[in-house]
Structure formats: structure tokens, C-alpha cells
């Protein structure tokens, strides 16, 4: 997906980028490639691939839920090089974005990136999601918590749902063949106060690979015992 195709594909979804946003995506790409030579941020570095598989794919979340609210707070768990929240922040500058990632080098990159893009209303934390979710300052405070290709549903629910405020939304961005995974994650989702709301399927333009956006509504407060200590959700997931 070249830049013109990227702009047109977003335009087809009702998202028109201004000159500042177009330049921000170009700067994002250049910064990502430059820093990727020093640290492993992504295996995808060809420009057309980055625009399709990182930028467009990240923004696809906005095709299925409304990010236009002026006061919306978004937490991105395990964002790596900033996906999906930084592309969304470029498109929706009013978003209040918090990223938590367990690798300090990624947080260093994200702080530099935010400076390069002149972003405000962003905060980056070097922490494990399990510890972050126990922190009273952040627990159950976010309108939307997102995770893209981080872990399976039963694990992600324990990492993310404790951060969603009751009445808020947990969004998982997934690839193909997720039916069995969602079924296995149902017990964890309910135990942590969530309920499956909807799953949307689409195909990435050009390469036609399958994607799913899974939305889970936060219906009840998460029991205080969750999340468990770091590493436990992955080793011993809550599964039916």
C-alpha cells in the first residue's frame, strides 16, 4: 500500500488526513526504520508494508468503534513500536493515550517518537501489565483499553480488563481463525467483569489477509485478586 492508496483507503472510510497528519505518518515511518537498525522494533520495514500492516491496520479499529469523543482515554497494552495507539492518536489528536510496555528500550523509542511527531496528551510507562493493573492510579480508569497481537484472549483479558472503567471497552485486534480462542477465553472475560459485545471481520486491502476486531464491554468491576502476579496469567490462564 503506497501513501496515495493509504490516504484513499482512509478517505473511503470517512477519514480525511490533513497535511500535518500526512507528514506525521512520514516522520513515523522514517523514525521507525532509523531506530529499527539499533533495536528490534518490527520485522516489517518496507514502506508499503508499514503503511498497510502497521498504520492502516492500527487505524482499522476506528472503522468499528467511535474514537471521536473529545475526552476519550485510551490505554494500549504491549504497544511495541506504538501500534495501534500512535496511528490512532495521529488521526484523532484529541485522544488521551497511555502506553504500557515491559521493555524499556521501546519506551525510550516512543518518547523520542512523540517528540518527533509533536504529540501532546500521551504518556508512556515501563511496566508489566500485571503490575500496572494493580496500580490504583490506573486501575479501572480508561474508557478504552486496546491490545494488538499480544497474547490469546484468556491471557489478554486478565492483563487488560482490570484497566477498563465499568461501562468502558476492551478491544482486541486479532488475525485469522479466532473462534476457538474466543471460546476458550469466555470464562476469563466473565471472571474479570467483561462480556463479549461484537466481533467484526475484515480483510486488509491489497494482500487480503483476514483481521478481526473483538469488542468486550466492561460490565462489572474486576475482582481485586486480578491481575495475578507477573507471569501467572500466561503460565496459568483462566480457561474453561
Looking at the domain assignment, is residue 184 inside a domain? Answer: yes
CA–CA gap between residue 159 and residue 163 (Å, rounded)? 8
Q: Name every residue whose Cβ is closer than 8 Å to that of residue 124 and which is 6 or more positions away in sequence.
A: 98, 99, 100, 101, 107, 110, 111, 114
Does residue 52 belong to any structural domain of this protein? yes
CATH number for the domain harbouring residue 76: 3.40.50.150
Q: Is 148 annotated as a binding-site member?
A: yes
The reply to whether 33 falls in a domain is yes
Q: What would the pLDDT profile of 73-88 be if each residue is shown by its tens digit? A: 999 998 889 999 999 9
Reported as a single tens digit per residue, the pLDDT across 108-142 is 999 999 999 999 999 999 999 999 999 999 999 99
185 is in an annotated binding site: no
- Percentage of residues of the chain with pLDDT beyond 70: 100
DSSP conformation class of 56: I
- Domain-located, residue 240: no
| Residue 224 in this model has a pLDDT that exceeds 80 | yes
Query: What average pLDDT does this structure show over 219-234?
Result: 95
Residue with cell 496500580: 135
- Would 190 be classed as within a structural domain? yes
CA dist list (Å): 36 to 18, 27, 80, 105, 127? 27, 14, 12, 11, 22
| Domain housing 216 | 3-235
Task: Write down the pLDDT at residue 213.
Answer: 97
**Is 219 among the domain residues?**
yes
Structurally, the chain folds into a number of domains equal to: 1
Amino acid at each position: 500500500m503506497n501513501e496515495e492508496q493509504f490516504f484513499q483507503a482512509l478517505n473511503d472510510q470517512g477519514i480525511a488526513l490533513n497535511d500535518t497528519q500526512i507528514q506525521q505518518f512520514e516522520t513515523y515511518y522514517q523514525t521507525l526504520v532509523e531506530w529499527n537498525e539499533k533495536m528490534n522494533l518490527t520485522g516489517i520495514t518496507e514502506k508499503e508494508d508499514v503503511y498497510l500492516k502497521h498504520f492502516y491496520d492500527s487505524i482499522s479499529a476506528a472503522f468499528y468503534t467511535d474514537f471521536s469523543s473529545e475526552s476519550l482515554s485510551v490505554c494500549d497494552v504491549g504497544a511495541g513500536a506504538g501500534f495501534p495507539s500512535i496511528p490512532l492518536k495521529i488521526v484523532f489528536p484529541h485522544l488521551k493515550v497511555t502506553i504500557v510496555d515491559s521493555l524499556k528500550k521501546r519506551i525510550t523509542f516512543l518518547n523520542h517518537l512523540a517528540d518527533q511527531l509533536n504529540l501532546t496528551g500521551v504518556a508512556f510507562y515501563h511496566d508489566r501489565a500485571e503490575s500496572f493493573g494493580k496500580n490504583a492510579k490506573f486501575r479501572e480508569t480508561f474508557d478504552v483499553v486496546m491490545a494488538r497481537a499480544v497474547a490469546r484472549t484468556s491471557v489478554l483479558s486478565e492483563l487488560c480488563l482490570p484497566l477498563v472503567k465499568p461501562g468502558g471497552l476492551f478491544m482486541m485486534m486479532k488475525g485469522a481463525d479466532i473462534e476457538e480462542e474466543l471460546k476458550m477465553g469466555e470464562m476469563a472475560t466473565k471472571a474479570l467483569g467483561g462480556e463479549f459485545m461484537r466481533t467484526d471481520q475484515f480483510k486488509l486491502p491489497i494482500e487480503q489477509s483476514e483481521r478481526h476486531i473483538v469488542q468486550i464491554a466492561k460490565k462489572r468491576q474486576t475482582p481485586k485478586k486480578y491481575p495475578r502476579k507477573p507471569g501467572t496469567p500466561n503460565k496459568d490462564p483462566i480457561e474453561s
